Structure 1
Amino acid sequence: MTQHKIGWKTAAALVVSNMIGTGVFTSLGYQISDLKNTQTILLLWVIGGFLALIGAFIYSELASKFKQSGGDYIYLSRTYHPLFGYLSSWISLFVGFSAPISLAALAMSKYLNIFGFNLGREFAIAMILIVAIFQSFSINLSSRFQNVFTILKVVFIIVLIGIGFYFVPEVSPNAINFGSSWTNELMLPAFATSLVYVTFAYTGWNSASYIIEEINQPKKNLPKALFIGVIFVTLSYVLINFVLLKHGSVDALSGKEDVANISFSNILGTNVKWVSCFIALQLIATISGYLWIGSRLTQATAKENKLWSFMAKENKNRIPVRAIWVHAIISILLIFSGDFEVIFTYTSFVLQILATLAISTAFFIKKDQLTIIKSRFFYVLPTIFLAFSLYICYFVLIQKPKESLFGLGIIALGIIIFFFDKNTSKK
């Protein structure tokens, strides 16, 4: 049966929906607790976008070189050793894709609580199950579902920014502070730990590269989807955070997760409920995107490893249904594993380690294999990315040792399971 393939618009929709999720609507509260200067906070989001754009260039080249769905699993297995690819899939199965699904579903329930429904884990679980059902039939249905909710996401983001810039702040004083303290704040450990929240919000910039075999004319359409998606999201993130600072106070925002509710209630009063409703609805595209991409990475691993092999099975439309439902079940279990911030922190830390490993494979692309930047300047890009990434990982390890050690424990468990898997296969 001929497989339906997606164009650059659906691929870009996947990039946008994987990136814009819980991070941008929750992480400001953690940042402003320690960083009070507006320039510092906006610089965090600019740096995050810059790193994501560098990553988009690199992954376009990696995908062009390997020409196989599976993303990090393929790049690390083929470049270094199957262990590294195995670890990338292990991390992605439990942290990279399943944890963001859990966070998005939990964030949906938090934002809808403004209606007085007192929604909790049961609602989050129900949403994961509903989206998994829509992902389980065909790429055509998945594409339509993804496109509809991504269009809703994009329109909502633009409207939100427009409202924020149009209205005069009601809060006095608000959180806008363009003083000179930003130069001192750049040296604080809190700046580095805040960057890990930002990089989590940008997670998904590489998503379309995981399904290169499902993209029509990938050599042309993959870079186009990655670049358009990353640039749109970067501009959106910077503007949204400025708007949230403009209409909220430092005291009101500090340590809070529902920062959009707090800021926009100062503009819209009781009418803020529709903002909460649309924040929740746009997270459906996030859940859908992570299930789509995550299941393909897991399937690529399942084809080459015995313990995972049951997840390689496809339906008649070549949808890896078992992989989709394994991700859905793990996401549901993670909802019970800790509070929002703990999941957020260890997920961000482990994903940063994975991104560091994956980007390092770019140094093994030969100059004559490059398709976009056909010069030695290309190798400057992974160098910049790795420098920032190691800087972030070091400070998170120092500032958040408990969460970091939990994340490293997940990696250690993956190593043990890899060798157990290989020994089982030999027998």
Structure 2
Amino acid sequence: MSNKKQLSLFDLSMIVVSLVIGMGIFRTPVNVAAGAQVPELFFSAWIIGGLVALCGALTYAEIGSRFPVTGGYYKIFSAFYHPSIAFAINCIIVVSNAASVAGVSLIGAEYFSKIILPIELQTEFYRIVIAAITIALFYVLNLMGLKVSSKTQNILSMIKIGMVLILICAIFTGSGAESMSNSLPAFKTTTGIAPSWTDYGKALGVCLIAVSFTFGGYQQTINFGGETKEANRVIPRAIMTGLAIIIVLYMAINYAYVKVIGFEQLKTAESIAAILAGKLFGPAGFTILSCLIYFSVLGYVNVNLLSNPRAMYAMGEEGALPKIFKKRTKKNEVMFVSLTVFAVISVFTLFYAQTFDKILNYTIFLDCIGMATSAATIFFLRKRTAHLDKKTIYSMKLYPLLPLIFIAAYSFVGISIYANDPEAGRNGLLIFAGFILIYFINRFFSHQQEQPNDKN
């Protein structure tokens, strides 16, 4: 069954926005501030992260333009490395994204329950129920087809952008940290001696772990290549448009955090978005923020139900997963098996969110490897598609400098993670090796089942 070309430039740009802006920007600036110690390094980390993301966006824009297929983030690994590598990396992404959907849904349910439920019912059980209902509702919505779910995504993405813009307006209410000007924070080392460039480099590496996590997600846009109108032209524009919006929003809201909360206070602050909302709306700020955060959660849940089943569908097409994963409905071409499995995994992990938070620590390390190696496929892809008409595809300027910068940056972040938490790195590699083993076991049994049929 051929894929219908349903996604426009606006649709795909809004998907990029929601793939990247989850809950991270409302939490990770605290970690970045604590790691940076001084405002100069804090803002430098966000600027560097934005520039690296821009290099990545241009790289994936060209990959998506030259290789427009459904489940592209799986298929580039399969085509240019080995299906086992593709299977392992994408399984890790699917599992971690399911855990993220569960965790983010719980955060949204926690805010939402305080508005709709009496105090005596604001328990963990009811938060899980609200989160599960949220996932179930968007599962049903996605069963209606890509057109319905993408239009819904457009609305939710616009609400999310509006939410960030509203919070940024807190800078016009005046600074909440006048004392900041009296004593500027100093960079402190563990030894107590003056910091060296090595100390600054290590601190920057720690900051970039959180920054890279907050900027991540746009690479999954290439999963929609087979369903995008004029994909060769639209995918690059959508990735660059979406990421440009994100970079501007991130820089502005981080300035607002420092301006309103104060840099020293930001290092240990909780509910930083709530502080901005309180400055804007006073006592009603929490209620308004709770509604906005819940809508932001809805966008994150929906976009993951859109993206991840496409990677699973691609695995089913190539036999890395059972062939049933490539089944579609006849009317709307919905990948209902892949969609159902991903939704079930997400709901299941609601009950094991704390355990999966630990797994996420390992998968961030592997995500760095995945980003670096997937971006490196551009070097193979350029050679394989050299015959294509240059007028019909996107080719980045400053090649190969930009992909090399992106690969080097994510390699640096991966090394920083390993240096900061060696156990997470080792366990991440073990998880990766485990999925590769599962791939070969699955292929062995599939081959054994096919042999009797071949004889007949």
TM-score (norm 2): 0.85
Structure 2 residue 342 is matched with structure 1 residue 327: yes
5 Å-filtered alignment, 1:235-314, equals: 235-249=248-262, 252-255=265-268, 258-273=271-286, 274-305=288-319, 307-314=321-328
Given that 1:196 and 1:396 are in contact with CA atoms closer than 8 Å, whether structure 2 keeps it comes out as: yes
Aligned to 2:441: 420
252-261 vs 217-226, which moves further: 252-261
Aligned to 1:125: 132
String of CA shifts for 1:113-168, please: whole Å, max 9, x gaps.
6646456333322222222221122112112211111111112222221x222110
Runs of 5+ in structure 2 lacking a partner? 189-194, 449-456
Matched to 1:276, the amino acid is S
String of CA shifts for 1:185-236, please: whole Å, max 9, x gaps.
8725343122122111112222321111111111121111110000110110
1:354 to 370, 377, 383: 370
Aligned to 2:149: 142
5 Å-filtered alignment, 1:25-424, equals: 25-95=26-96, 97-112=97-112, 115=115, 117-118=122-123, 120-161=127-168, 163-173=169-179, 181=187, 187-249=200-262, 252-255=265-268, 258-273=271-286, 274-305=288-319, 307-316=321-330, 317-335=332-350, 336-338=352-354, 342=358, 344-366=360-382, 368=386, 371-373=393-395, 377-424=398-445
Given that 1:176 and 1:245 are in contact with CA atoms closer than 8 Å, whether structure 2 keeps it comes out as: no
Give the CA deviation at 1:53.
Answer: 1.6
169-178 vs 101-110, which moves further: 169-178
CA change 1:130–1:6 in 2 (3 A) is same
Matched to 1:345, the amino acid is N
CA change 1:348–1:7 in 2 (3 A) is same
Given that 1:105 and 1:124 are in contact with CA atoms closer than 8 Å, whether structure 2 keeps it comes out as: yes
CA distance in 2, matches of 1:218, 1:257: 42
Give the CA deviation at 1:409.
Answer: 2.9
Give the CA deviation at 1:327.
Answer: 1.4
CA change 1:191–1:419 in 2 (3 A) is same
CA change 1:70–1:340 in 2 (3 A) is closer
Give the CA deviation at 1:268.
Answer: 3.7
**DSSP 3-state at the match of 1:398:** helix
Give the CA deviation at 1:405.
Answer: 3.3
Give the CA deviation at 1:331.
Answer: 2.1
In the comparison of the two structures, how many residue pairs are matched? Answer: 424
Identity of aligned residues (%): 23
Matched to 1:86, the amino acid is F
CA distance in 2, matches of 1:68, 1:267: 45
258-267 vs 194-203, which moves further: 258-267
CA distance in 1, matches of 2:183, 2:343: 42
Given that 2:163 and 2:292 are in contact with CA atoms closer than 8 Å, whether structure 1 keeps it comes out as: yes
Runs of 5+ in structure 1 lacking a partner? none
CA distance in 2, matches of 1:199, 1:144: 28
313-322 vs 66-75, which moves further: 66-75
**DSSP 3-state at the match of 1:187:** helix
101-110 vs 209-218, which moves further: 101-110
CA distance in 2, matches of 1:144, 1:177: 50
Given that 1:244 and 1:259 are in contact with CA atoms closer than 8 Å, whether structure 2 keeps it comes out as: yes
**DSSP 3-state at the match of 2:437:** helix
CA change 1:286–1:314 in 2 (3 A) is same
**DSSP 3-state at the match of 1:144:** helix
Q: Which has the larger radius of gyration?
A: 2
CA distance in 2, matches of 1:220, 1:190: 39
Given that 2:45 and 2:208 are in contact with CA atoms closer than 8 Å, whether structure 1 keeps it comes out as: yes
